[in-house]
Amino acid sequence: MSLTATLGRAKDEAMQHFSEAKVERMAKENDELKMENRLLREELSDHRSEHRQVLDMLEKARISDAEGAPSGRRFKLLRLIAVGGTVYAIVTKTGAVDRVKAWIESMKGTTDRFATDVSRKASDVAHGFGDTVEHAGRRIEQTGDRIEQVARPSER
């Protein structure tokens, strides 16, 4: 087998290994994101039902308020306080803001680690390839020296 074929096969195997490792990491991350997505959908559904209940209660309060008092300002203020309180409670209860910030930070670290990993592996492969080429060059040089030594005594 020739040196170029061996080197080509080694390169192909290394690239296949890197690709398989990346696919495995991406599949794992995809599964984790699907699970997180499922949980967030369930939480969203719960919060929407709570929101509907609050709006129904506000609607009932508006109807009873409209019957008793002509002022619409009280209802607007009450609705503003209720909606603001509901949004605040949902955000603080679920910790959605913290989770989003943590996810963004984790993605920053993941991309940095991936880039470092790939550059280190590429450097290792390049050094290995260089060592192989250097070794092959020495062997060729040694073979050439032997051929010259064998050819010299026969010329005499």
Q: Same structural domain for residues 17 and 78?
A: yes
Q: Same structural domain for residues 25 and 100?
A: no
Residue 108 structure tokens: 């920053």
Is 136 or 108 the better-scoring residue by pLDDT? 136
Supply the range of the domain harboring residue 119.
96-156
pLDDT at 29: 93
Of 94, 125, 141, the position where a domain reaches its end is 94
Contact 7, 132 (CB under 8 A): yes
Whole-angstrom distance, CA of residue 22 vs CA of residue 155: 60
Q: Same structural domain for residues 71 and 123?
A: no
Q: Same structural domain for residues 139 and 120?
A: yes
Q: Same structural domain for residues 81 and 141?
A: no
Q: Same structural domain for residues 90 and 102?
A: no
Of 58, 74, 94, the position where a domain reaches its end is 94
pLDDT at 129: 83
pLDDT at 92: 76
Q: What is the pLDDT of residues 61-76, one digit of tens each?
A: 776 655 555 566 777 8
- The CA-based angle 99-101-106, given to 5 degrees, is 90
- Is the pLDDT confidence value at 144 over 70? yes
pLDDT at 67: 57
Q: Same structural domain for residues 144 and 76?
A: no
Q: Same structural domain for residues 7 and 75?
A: yes
Q: What is the pLDDT of residues 81-135, one digit of tens each?
A: 888 888 888 877 777 777 777 877 777 777 777 778 888 888 888 888 888 888 8
Model confidence at 26, pLDDT cuts 50, 70, 90, reads: very high
Global pTM reads 0.32
Query: Please, where are the H alpha helices in the chain?
Result: 3-68, 73-94, 96-155
Model confidence at 153, pLDDT cuts 50, 70, 90, reads: low
Q: How many domains does the chain contain in total? A: 2
Q: What is the pLDDT of residues 38-47, one digit of tens each?
A: 999 999 998 8
Q: Same structural domain for residues 77 and 101?
A: no
Of 54, 77, 94, the position where a domain reaches its end is 94
